[in-house]
């Protein structure tokens, strides 16, 4: 955690509707501090399985980077935006979907560690997969 996030009060926000938190507890809130960020990853891992293809992220020269950009509420400067793609599955039901998502990393310290990681994904596909009946295994 401390390798990638600043020492003081890092944040992770996965944007989405707060009403979906019952089934998708990582959505629609900001997790703060190292313990809070670990809690985000624990919720995410307990809820979803994620498979990223080899080309999930574009090459470095296609990243959107602004070293001087400032984000409200973040003291340090710098913003990197990147799109990605992958396959996601709700662990409880076995239902999955293909998805594209956007990451915005902001507020970098002198060692390149991030202050705030924001995720915009497809919460409605996740919610639909979470609401479906458990998928029967084909054994």
Give helix then strand counts, H and E, for the chain.
Answer: 2, 7
Is residue 17 a contact partner of residue 126, using CB atoms and an 8 Å limit? Answer: no
Q: What is the DSSP letter of 5?
A: B
Going residue by residue through the chain (139 aa), what tens digit of pLDDT does each one get? Answer: 789 999 989 999 999 999 999 999 999 999 999 999 999 999 999 999 999 999 999 999 999 999 999 888 888 889 999 999 999 999 999 999 999 999 999 999 999 999 999 999 999 999 999 999 898 765 4
pLDDT at 138: 53
Structure tokens that stand for 77 in this block: 């400067």
Structure tokens that stand for 82 in this block: 């990147």
pLDDT at 137: 63
Give how far Cα 94 sits from Cα of 1, 10, 20, Å.
Answer: 29, 32, 18
Tokens 């400067």 sit on residue: 77
- Domains delineated in the chain: 11-130 (3.10.450.50)
């Amino acid at each position: 955690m401390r390798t990638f996030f600043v020492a003081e009060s890092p944040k992770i926000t996965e944007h989405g509707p707060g009403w979906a938190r019952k089934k998708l507890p990582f959505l629609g809130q900001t997790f703060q501090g190292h313990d809070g960020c670990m809690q985000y990853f624990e919720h995410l891992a307990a809820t979803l399985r994620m498979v990223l293809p080899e080309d999930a992220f574009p090459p470095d020269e296609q990243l959107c980077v602004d070293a001087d950009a400032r984000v409200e509420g973040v003291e340090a400067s710098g913003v990197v935006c990147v799109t990605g793609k992958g396959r996601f599955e709700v662990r409880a039901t076995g239902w999955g979907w293909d998805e594209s998502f956007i990451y915005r990393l902001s507020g970098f310290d002198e060692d390149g560690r991030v202050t705030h990681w924001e995720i915009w994904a497809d919460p409605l596909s996740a919610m639909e997969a979470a609401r479906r009946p458990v998928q029967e295994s084909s054994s």
